[in-house]
Amino acid sequence: MGTSVQVTPLCGVYNENPLSYLVSIDGFNFLIDCGWNDHFDTSLLQPLSRVASSVDAVLLSHPDTFHLGALPYAMKELGLSAPVYATEPVYRLGLLTMYDQYLSRKQVSEFDLFTLDDIDSAFQNVTRLTYSQNHYMSGKGEGIVIAPLVAGHLLGGTTWRITKDGEDVIYAVDFNHRKERHLNGTVLESFVRPAVLITDAFNALNNQPSRRQRDQEFLDAIEKTVNVGGNVLLPVDTAGRVLELILTLEQHWTQRQLSTPIYFLSYVSTSTIDYAKSFLEWMSDSIAKSFEHTRDNAFLLRKIKLLINKSALEEAPGPKVVMASMASLEAGFSHDLFVEWAADPKNLVMFTERGQFGTLARILQSDPPPKAVKVTMSRRIPLVGEELAAYEEEQNRIKREEALKATLVKEEELKASVGAEVVTSDPMVIDTNVSHPSSSAAGLHSGAFKDVLIDGFVPPSSSVAPMFPFYDNTSEWDDFGEVINPDDYVVKDDNMEQLSMHVDGDLNGKLDEGSANLILDTTPSKVVSSELTVQVKCSLLYMDFEGRSDGRSIKSILAHVAPLKLVLVHGSAEATEHLKQHCLKHVCPHVYAPQLEETIDVTSDLCAYKVQLSEKLMSQVLFKKLGDYEIAWLDAEVGKTENDMFSLLPLSEPAPPHKTVLVGDIKMSDFKQFLASKGVQVEFGGGALRCGEYVTIRKVGDAGQKVGGAAIQQIVLEGPLSEEYYKIREHLYSHFYSL
């Protein structure tokens, strides 16, 4: 039978919750995506907690919270320890996304679900792959090959291809077929008839206007606002779709020579743009070619200023355009700016993606929008007075307890290291084998040491009286002298260690100064919160810059790919059912839309068997060299070995003759030059190659239809049987290998 494939949704089916799915291929468990929402709701991770320990590998598709946000928590609390695979941009930008999430929440709450150390630890397990790079799994996953392919949507975004025994399982969610300013479109359309396709229904009911129309409306709304003296707030993600917005505004401001300041405000804004500058090869062809020809980096920003705190923004007078994280308005700079600007009718809040369910952004996007909203304003302030004294006293108590524990542990280690033998030559040690003159002397001797013990001192069990221990630490020596430990000569600074861990260790020194200051800030502080009612008088607009294919395009792509079995995930119940019914009629008869934690079996109906080539058969085979490979024609019969394994054996009777098979491919332009070098008059005409006076060579068939990566085409040689015909046929055959 075919490769065994089971799919179990852990989150993100029949709703718009984060994405997380367990895909089992012949018993090897892939966790594909490990997302979380901006509420960091731990109840969403309960299904994951039940299977985390059985996961063999994790595949990440996009560098945003919805696709990888739960990774640090899952590795810290849920027992997830499998290796992680992602592209380089997903790894780098995903790390920045999690840093920004942590820093944004730490400023307004006692956030303790994960720390910066947990983020670092989780991302240390990531193996980075390039697009189309085949990675061969080992051990339990022997025979499985994974490869990341272009998905569009976000920088480094991935469509995963998992191959086993020639059958492809494709995971393609949040893809975009359109070329954008900074990204190429997905390669999903290049697949034909995969065994299983897992995709989403998130945009199944949405249709988009043209990019030109959308961009014009977007820019006109911003210009109109700043022209009347208003501010524009764009709540954005940390390092995803914000890159497309940055290029859109940068190009428009440059072309129109506008002077209104634009800011990108997040805790890691500088790092985000630095990485974008270094990832040009992952971007659109136009950006790569522009850099190759003119050395002009598209992300060398001249009109947009990068900010890491609000203080610089407050000093800028007049109207301004600000892209601020987070897109959900639940935390971060965007939340604070909305509260400040919402009451002014001249201002505009422009949403470029649908808000997550239950967030402030989603509430404001409702129709009609609310006239007032309740928000929680929180800020972290230093401790003073009695609170500071109480905090310091508590910290001192904790330090004393830790020091006492360390002392007890050290004493236990010292006791264990004391030998049983007593060195009698040492005057500090009393030999119990020596007899004493009298019992009274012994009593005096014992009494003399009665009150010598002090608190915390434990005499070794081998001594008969209190003694202060002395240990001769023997040093190791080698050919060059005493072996030293370099760490003994390093002056350590706890703060610098902490900074280097997060700067040099994982971000290669690209952590923003503001973020570094937050990490190093050890000033005792507390969070103060207050409830506010904000009057929403500013304008609210939504423009679709999500970078996903719309419903019409999704249906067209699925019909072209025509998978044998289709699994639909992530989308509202209405969108999921709509796409399911459409695909049952127009795509394939096997369409599945599983519920949460429902395991569906999508094992291929194709039969594949593993067979051994017997040594007796191989000794009779004649191989021919074909490039880097060797090929041969086999005539054999199927038998079984002693271990009941299928094996190919030599035929018991003479093999029947077979037609000659020509292996290889040829480019008509190359063959034209070859014939010309042989003195044959040749030219292209009417889509064919005219050779000499009477002979014509043409390719027939569909070049777009492929099997195993090769186009299905035939070469037709036409003309009267003549010396010229046979001569040209001989030249043609010389470009192939015959079997």
The pLDDT, as a whole number, for residue 133 is 95
The answer to whether residue 1 scores a pLDDT higher than 90 is: no
Residue 198 has pLDDT above 80, yes or no: yes
- Sorting pLDDT into bands at 50, 70 and 90, what band is 264? very high
pLDDT at residue 51 is higher than 70: yes
CA nearest neighbour of 156 among 91, 77, 247, 227? 91
Closest-CA residue to 15 (of 576, 695, 590): 576
- Better-scored residue on pLDDT, 194 or 607: 194
pLDDT tens-digit series, residues 498-524: 444 444 444 444 456 556 655 556 778
Q: Give CA–CA dist 3/609, Å, rounded.
A: 10
State the average pLDDT over residues 306-326: 90
Question: pLDDT confidence of 709, banded at 50, 70, 90?
Answer: very low
- Tell me the average pLDDT of the chain: 84
Helix, strand and coil content of the chain, in percent to the nearest 5, comes to: 35, 25, 45
End-to-end Cα, the chain, rounded Å: 30
Over pLDDT 90: what percentage of the chain? Answer: 54
User: Which range has the worst mean pLDDT, 189-198, 230-239, 434-443, 478-487?
Assistant: 434-443
Q: Report whether pLDDT(435) > 50.
A: no
CA dist 505 → 66, 117, 515, 593 (Å)? 25, 11, 15, 42
Q: Are 146 and 160 a contacting pair, CB within 8 Å?
A: yes
CA distance 397 to 390: 11
What average pLDDT does this structure show over 398-411? 88
Give the C-alpha separation, 498 to 518, whole Å: 11
Q: What is the pLDDT of residues 641-685, one digit of tens each?
A: 777 778 888 887 777 777 777 776 777 877 888 888 888 888 887
As to burial, measured by CB atoms within 10 angstroms (0-12 exposed, 13-18 middle, 19+ buried), residue 298 is buried
Q: CA separation (Å) from 347 to 231, 233, 540, 671, 735?
A: 5, 8, 9, 66, 70
Instruction: Name the phi and psi angles at 695, rounded to 5.
Output: -95, 140
Write out pLDDT tens, residues 555-603: 999 999 999 999 999 999 999 999 999 999 999 999 999 999 999 999 8
pLDDT confidence bin for 434, thresholds 50/70/90? very low
The pLDDT of residue 55 is: 97
What domains lie within the chain, and their CATH numbers? 5-206+548-598 (3.60.15.10), 211-383+524-542 (3.40.50.10890), 612-650 (no CATH), 668-736 (no CATH)
Alpha helices for 162-268 (secondary structure H)? 211-227, 242-256
